[in-house]
């Protein structure tokens, strides 16, 4: 369960790098019922904040890295971004953005795991992260697709202290590994990882990637809005026993995300 507390190793923020900020803002506003607040004006607009019922849920910025694909970046809470950076390097990861202060809001850094999966960390200052989670229109799960589950577990376990528990998917669909922050019970699971062959990781040319899962009240309605607003669907909608009804979607710039109507508990 994702919460808004400051548990180290748990998700606390996400933002989207988009080639067209206006178009991305319009898409997610239509699909997820978000409001968008720009941090700029007119043609100079480079990004802003998404809110749900006035509460901050995510960020949006202009995609500026040459050759990069549009994608959601997930941030995990840490108590010391510099120490995390050393842990990433010692575990053979790559520092993409060295730790830096964002005024007094906090300190951030971005990395790649040894196989290329990109993620980020946030050391809270005045800002702790998103205002709501695990509610309709907000982040409810994080997921890594990787070509080497064992290597991913070793890396992220070393960096964050995550614990993993494996479950077999029905119909011979493979093994899914559930992720729990260090020191917390399994009901605080915040994500999962799944091994896929490199040729199935078509969005990144075989490189692992993280994506967010957003809770919605009606998966089929959300999918209809995705299609109606220029996005597409990679998988679903379909029912997952004990999980809910979900679909893997792409926005108009091919940034991937999942919409999920959770199963009733």
| Cis peptide bond upstream of 237, omega within 30 | yes
pLDDT for residue 2 is more than 90:
yes
Q: Among the listed ranges 60-69, 119-128, 184-193, which one has the minimum average pLDDT value?
A: 60-69
pLDDT for residue 43 is more than 60:
no
Average pLDDT over residues 62-73: 90
Domain-located, residue 104? yes
Reduced to 3 states (helix: H, G, I; strand: E, B; else coil), residue 166 is: strand
**Torsions phi, psi for 118 (to 5 deg):** -100, 140
Average pLDDT over residues 54-71: 92
Average pLDDT over residues 180-202: 94
Q: Among the listed ranges 15-24, 104-113, 215-224, 235-244, which one has the minimum average pLDDT value?
A: 235-244
Q: How confident is residue 265, by pLDDT bands cut at 50, 70 and 90?
A: low
**Torsions phi, psi for 227 (to 5 deg):** -65, -45
Q: How, if at all, do strands 244-250 and 256-262 pair?
A: antiparallel
Q: What is the CA radius of gyration of the chain?
A: 17
User: Which region holds residue 129: left if phi is over 0, alpha if psi is between -120 and 50, else beta?
Assistant: left
Domain-located, residue 162? no
Q: Among the listed ranges 75-84, 109-118, 164-173, which one has the minimum average pLDDT value?
A: 164-173
Q: How confident is residue 242, by pLDDT bands cut at 50, 70 and 90?
A: confident
What is the pLDDT, as a whole number, of residue 153? 97
pLDDT of 122-155, one tens digit each?
999 999 999 999 999 999 999 999 999 999 999 9
Over the chain, what is the mean pLDDT?
Answer: 94
pLDDT for residue 44 is more than 70:
no
Strand partners, 51: 35, 56
pLDDT of 216-235, one tens digit each?
999 999 999 999 999 999 99
Two tokens, residue 15: 């933002």
Q: How confident is residue 160, by pLDDT bands cut at 50, 70 and 90?
A: very high
pLDDT for residue 247 is more than 70:
yes
Domain-located, residue 84? yes
Domain-located, residue 234? no
| Helix or strand holding residue 110 (H, E) | strand 106-112
Domain-located, residue 43? yes
What is the domain range of residue 38? Answer: 11-124
pLDDT for residue 115 is more than 80:
yes
- % of the chain surpassing 70 pLDDT: 97
Domain-located, residue 18? yes
Domain count across the chain = 1
Domain-located, residue 94? yes
Domain-located, residue 86? yes
C-alpha dihedral (2, 205, 195, 140), degrees to nearest 10: 10
CATH number for 41: 3.10.180.10
| Helix or strand holding residue 234 (H, E) | strand 232-240
Question: Got the DSSP string for 80-96?
Answer: -HHHHHHHHHHTT-EEE
């Amino acid at each position: 369960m994702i919460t808004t507390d400051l548990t180290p190793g748990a998700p606390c923020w996400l933002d989207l790098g988009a080639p067209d900020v206006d178009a991305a803002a319009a898409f997610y506003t239509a699909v997820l019922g978000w409001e968008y607040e720009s941090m700029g004006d007119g043609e100079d607009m480079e990004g802003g904040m998404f809110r749900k019922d006035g509460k901050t849920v995510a960020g949006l910025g202009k995609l500026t890295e040459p050759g990069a694909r549009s994608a959601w970046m997930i941030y995990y809470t840490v108590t010391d971004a510099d120490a995390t950076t050393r842990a990433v390097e010692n575990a053979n990861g790559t520092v993409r953005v060295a730790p830096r202060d964002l005024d007094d809001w906090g300190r951030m850094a971005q990395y790649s795991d040894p196989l290329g999966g990109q993620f980020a960390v946030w050391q809270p200052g005045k800002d702790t992260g998103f205002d709501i989670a695990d509610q309709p229109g907000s982040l409810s799960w994080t997921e890594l697709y990787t070509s080497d589950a064992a290597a991913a577990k070793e890396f992220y376990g070393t960096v964050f202290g995550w614990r993993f528990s494996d479950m077999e998917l029905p119909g011979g669909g493979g093994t899914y590994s559930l992720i729990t922050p260090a020191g917390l019970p399994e009901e605080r699971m915040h994500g999962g990882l799944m091994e896929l062959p490199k040729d199935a990781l078509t969005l990144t040319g075989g490189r692992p990637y993280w994506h967010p899962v957003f809770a919605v009240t009606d998966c089929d309605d959300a999918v209809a809005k995705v299609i109606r607003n220029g996005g597409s669907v990679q998988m679903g909608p379909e029912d997952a026993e004990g999980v809910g009804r979900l679909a893997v979607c792409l926005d108009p710039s091919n940034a991937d995300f999942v919409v999920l109507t959770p199963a009733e508990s």
